[in-house]
Structure 1
Amino acid sequence: MITRGDIFGFAPDEKYTASVAYFSMEFAIDQALKIYSGGLGFLAGSHLRSAYELRQNLLGIGILWKYGYYDQVRDNNGLMKPEFIEKEYSFLQDTGVVFTVSVHDSPVHIKAYLLKPGTFKSAPLFLLSTDTAENDELSRSITHCLYDQNEATRIAQTIVLGIGGAMLLDILGITPDVYHMNEGHSVSLNFYLYAKYKSLEEVRKRVVFTTHTPEMAGNEAHSYSLLKEMSFFYQLQDHEAKSILGMNGDYFNYTLAALKFARKANGVSKLHGEVARRMWGDNPGICEIIAITNAQNKSYWADIQFNTAIMSGNDQSIAGRKKEMKSDLFKVVADQCGKLFDENILTVVWARRFADYKRAGLIMADWDRFLKLMNNKNYPVQLIWAGKPYPEDDGSIALFNQIINQTKPFANCAVLTGYELGLSALLKKGSDVWLNNPRMYHEASGTSGMAAAMNGSINLSFPDGWVPEFAKDRKNCFMIQPAPDRPTIVERDIQENKNLLDTLENIVLPMYYTKQENWIAMIKTAANDIVPEFEAGRLADEYYEKMYMA
């Protein structure tokens, strides 16, 4: 049997002796381990890295995705297409543990692997796989693709994560003081705990929950009848699940159930905490919802040489290292797009998940004005886009490819594929401006701008998510004025496109080219303001203080 020494390799700091099992559908730990899609995984990865640095008594529970999320490649026309390529990981330890979970009233074999802490300097992470010889092909496919589009497969994935993860801990003889659900995907673990402890109150003593989704449509829900068929409720009938939680209707909402099972929950920024309380506050029986703002791990994301320059306060060293980082990014631009970017030209990056509310194409909405921006000889600009749409989201894929086609004629525009941890780091280090233009109140947190600020990229952003907690306009970032309430989304987009371009043309570009000392001062202020408030050590500590030990 695998021992605690095998799992952790160290004794926890006495400040963090409460044991925690952290359940998440995705973890972005290292470029080599492709088991994540985007922001949720990036957050979980930073949390585990900082938990390791602080010697916290925390381990992760996730899934070993055979094909990852997907590989973002190009077709013969240079447009994006998803490919699903099998992954192999020799650095994972086979624990030798194989057990079964009931899915659709049939036994599904689950094999457990361990990512040891020393491998990538993260808290230990158990990864579950159904891709074993004991299973038939349908059962093996459960852990093939992250966020599989088939509804039954998605439900099976949540059963493996929630019930399977809780069962694994019991098999290993690990009884956590706290079960932490990072988003609602693992909510089925509570039905396993209910069967074990026979009481909702006993479950609530042990469970906390983090919600990341400020839009009601984004909170996963399935019919009770299908969930019952899939064995989601473990040993309970669907009417018993309804009765225990006081939930009615035909659909079981993962987030609402998690809020009823948990003793405490949190949103991922102060603004999102307020939004979450408005969204769910009218439902009886939910727990308290506080706010713990997301953060990113500095030791992973920050360039060492740039950080040294910031600490020295030497403007010349800061500017020099920034150009070197831009040069590294521009090698990728040249390789992928055949375009040679100039390190002396201001470079704006929009890089995040392609989703409608994030508005990847907002800067191009007024095409005539965009053309003038691209052809401005006095204040030249370079633009880079990157990000992954969901592989079945035809609309977002079409937008990605539309931007490729629209920007092909411009030597100063590039759209990059392969948006994973490695490229994300290059973009944050190699950009001058990190553009964030979501529709207001749709971004729960949005952490990419934190890591950008650690690397001398100044945020150009609407005041959504985490940004209002950080922003000092024209001191550590550039704020874009949101549009006043308008009758339609289209009208708001038109106004906010104007506000974005006004800020870029009238404030950002002139400062970069005519007041370089002010620009460097902003870089230094942003880098100093981002840490420790938005560094994941604060986050990991705050979870212990406000969620695990409270």
Structure 2
Amino acid sequence: MSQSTFSPPYKHPFTPDPKYKKSVAYFSMEFAVDQALKIYSGGLGFLAGSHMRSVYALKQNLIGIGMLWKHGYYDQGRKKDGSMEPEFREKMYSFLTDTTIRFQIPILGKQVWVAAYYLDPEVFTSAPLFLLTTDTDGNDDDTRAICYSLYDADVTLKVAQCMVLGIGGAKLLEELGYEPEVYHFNEAHAVSAIFSLYKKHKTVAEVKKRVVFTTHTPEEAGNEKHEIHFLEKLGFFSGLDIETVRKISGVKENIFNHSLAALSLSRKANGVSKLHGEVSRDMWKAHPKIAPIDHITNAQNNTYWVDKELEEARIDKDLDKIAARKKELKAVLFKTVADQCGKIFDPNVLTIVWARRFAAYKRPDMLAWDVQRFTKIMQNAQQPVQVIWAGKPYPKDEGAVNTFNKLFYMSHHFSNMAVLTGYELALSKLLKDGSDVWLNNPVVTREASGTSGMTAAMNASLNLSTYDGWICEFSKDGENSFLLPVAKGEDINKQDCDNLLEKLENEVIPTYYSNQDKWLQMVLNSMNDVNVEFNSDRMAREYYEKLY
């Protein structure tokens, strides 16, 4: 049934630049290349999407391999009382091409059919993408469901998803008759591919020659782990016996650590910021046989994210034009605020935005922890502020969902506070354009990189942040951003909260209202400083130079 009658142009539809002719297959669980293709949840996808757009711009010889999620991640709706409700709806994409490739891989003792769809680079100016799905003829309801929802909460389904990406992705390349020189795993989701490569090439050295790995997880506990016999029963190791798996993957116990296996079977690895590279080397130092871990700092695609008029004003160093355009962009965002929340925001008022995935370590609601001080800031008529929250928690993360809902209920008490649903690429762009301050307050060292502040800075928003991730390489406090001191000792949450409120009361808000010249100069500095170093073209180049 396999049909791989593709002409060579299908393998890579544009002629690569000679600097980037080495062939790469880039495996990622999610890609955010455009609002219309909902196969991503958050930062990992935003990063991969920007990377694929830079691959297109630089004409690199790279193809993406991902998953076609029938329900996407989820649609963030509201219940009758306005609190958050995850909704799972089928997505249809007429812009994808059915490759007609169908093949089977064994999962849980069943032969599961996998279908491959293709995103032509010209559709969204990205690298060519191949997207896999089990929602195809010949599969029963259970196996079709593997590709329904990104990061399914059911552990067996989630591992099966990783197997479709990894083993299925490697099999797809065989069906295409395409042998890339480099297999790049963006996070450890596709690590099962390594075992099918080992079966094919017979030695660790041959596997390592081909494999590189990007880790995004800054703490040991965050790495995916499963019982090794459970994985074997699922078919994760492509029929290799457990002793061989242990020998080649560095896993000694019965708990299989996906990242450790990826590090053990790669020739090179990287963290996603300078700080994260250091944290990762320290975290894995007990395993001397793993790949050397360098760092390539995450970045975002200027061409996709930057407002053209703001960019012209930046190049002309025209502060008045930046200020005027910013007000226009705020007015556009505020239409969405009015539509969703029934509140009329004012473009002349300082607007603070916190928007990204809701997760406990990112501390979404920190600004409102000290209710008294928060209320005082919100009710200051002389120097008013407006605050907007947005972001999707994992649908089964009750703590994060409750935080989202608590903020929403709290917003009923303030006409200048809004909590928006539907944080995807399009809303993210509106919020970057329409914010004056981009608030980022994760627990320090827990954010591997974070990228939302980059695209905010590109669009004339100032970062107000704890000292973590990419910010360490960008931020100059009081010159291009506002930086909180690193909390030390026992109660870092209280220190960070106090420092945040103090910074707002004594520096951020007064500068905006009493020293617009300084504010706009900081904005220009920020736009200039983010422009080259944190553009994904630099990142895509570094992947070729440092990793491939």
On whether the aligned pair clears a TM of 0.5, the verdict is yes
1:280 pairs with 2:291: no
Q: Return the offset for 1:2.
A: 2.4
Q: Return the offset for 1:239.
A: 2.3
> Which position in structure 2 is the counterpart of 1:94?
98
1:15 pairs with 2:16: no
Distance in 2, matches of 1:158 and 1:55, equals 29
> Which position in structure 2 is the counterpart of 1:515?
515
1:485 pairs with 2:489: yes
> Which position in structure 2 is the counterpart of 1:158?
162
Distance in 2, matches of 1:219 and 1:371, equals 39
> Which position in structure 1 is the counterpart of 2:86?
82
Letter in 2 for 1:18: K
User: Which of 300, 304, 314 is the aligned partner of 1:310?
Assistant: 314
> Which position in structure 2 is the counterpart of 1:526?
526
> Which position in structure 2 is the counterpart of 1:325?
329
Query: CA offsets, 1:397-438, max 9 Å, x none?
Result: 011000001121101000000000000000001000000000
> Which position in structure 2 is the counterpart of 1:388?
392
Query: CA offsets, 1:49-79, max 9 Å, x none?
Result: 0010000000000000000000001111011
Distance in 2, matches of 1:9 and 1:233, equals 33
> Which position in structure 2 is the counterpart of 1:373?
377
How does 1:400-415 map onto structure 2 within 5 Å?
400-415=404-419
Q: Return the offset for 1:145.
A: 0.5
SS at match of 1:284: coil
Q: Which runs of no fewer than 5 residues in structure 1 stay unpaired? A: none
Query: CA offsets, 1:451-503, max 9 Å, x none?
Result: 000000000001100101001111110101122221xxxx2211111100111
> Does structure 2 conserve the Cα–Cα contact (< 8 Å) formed by 1:351 and 1:387?
yes
1:298 pairs with 2:302: yes
> Does structure 2 conserve the Cα–Cα contact (< 8 Å) formed by 1:7 and 1:116?
no
Distance in 2, matches of 1:314 and 1:363, equals 33
User: Which of 454, 458, 462 is the aligned partner of 1:454?
Assistant: 458
1:265 pairs with 2:269: yes
Q: Return the offset for 1:4.
A: 3.5
Distance in 1, matches of 2:198 and 2:320, equals 61
Runs of 4+ in 1 over 4 A off after TM superposition: none
> Does structure 1 conserve the Cα–Cα contact (< 8 Å) formed by 2:248 and 2:264?
no
How does 1:6-405 map onto structure 2 within 5 Å?
6-405=10-409
Q: Return the offset for 1:284.
A: 3.3
SS at match of 1:277: helix
The range that moved more, 163-172 or 5-14, is 5-14
> Does structure 2 conserve the Cα–Cα contact (< 8 Å) formed by 1:434 and 1:460?
yes
> Does structure 2 conserve the Cα–Cα contact (< 8 Å) formed by 1:482 and 1:499?
no
1:494 pairs with 2:494: yes
Letter in 2 for 1:418: G
1:474 pairs with 2:478: yes
> Does structure 2 conserve the Cα–Cα contact (< 8 Å) formed by 1:8 and 1:117?
no
Distance in 2, matches of 1:427 and 1:273, equals 30
> Which position in structure 1 is the counterpart of 2:541?
541
Identity, in percent, stands at 56
SS at match of 2:101: strand
> Which position in structure 1 is the counterpart of 2:423?
419
Distance in 2, matches of 1:137 and 1:100, equals 16
SS at match of 1:293: coil
- The TM-score normalised by the length of structure 1 is 0.98
The range that moved more, 304-313 or 220-229, is 304-313
Distance in 2, matches of 1:158 and 1:366, equals 42
> Does structure 1 conserve the Cα–Cα contact (< 8 Å) formed by 2:56 and 2:125?
yes
Distance in 2, matches of 1:246 and 1:436, equals 36
> Does structure 2 conserve the Cα–Cα contact (< 8 Å) formed by 1:322 and 1:456?
yes
Letter in 1 for 2:474: F
Letter in 1 for 2:180: P
Letter in 1 for 2:418: A
Letter in 1 for 2:539: L
The range that moved more, 164-173 or 243-252, is 243-252
Letter in 1 for 2:48: A
What is the root-mean-square deviation in Å for CA atoms of aligned residues? 0.8
Query: CA offsets, 1:316-364, max 9 Å, x none?
Result: 2111110011011100000000000000000000001100000011111
Q: Return the offset for 1:7.
A: 4.7
Tell me how many residue pairs correspond in the alignment: 544
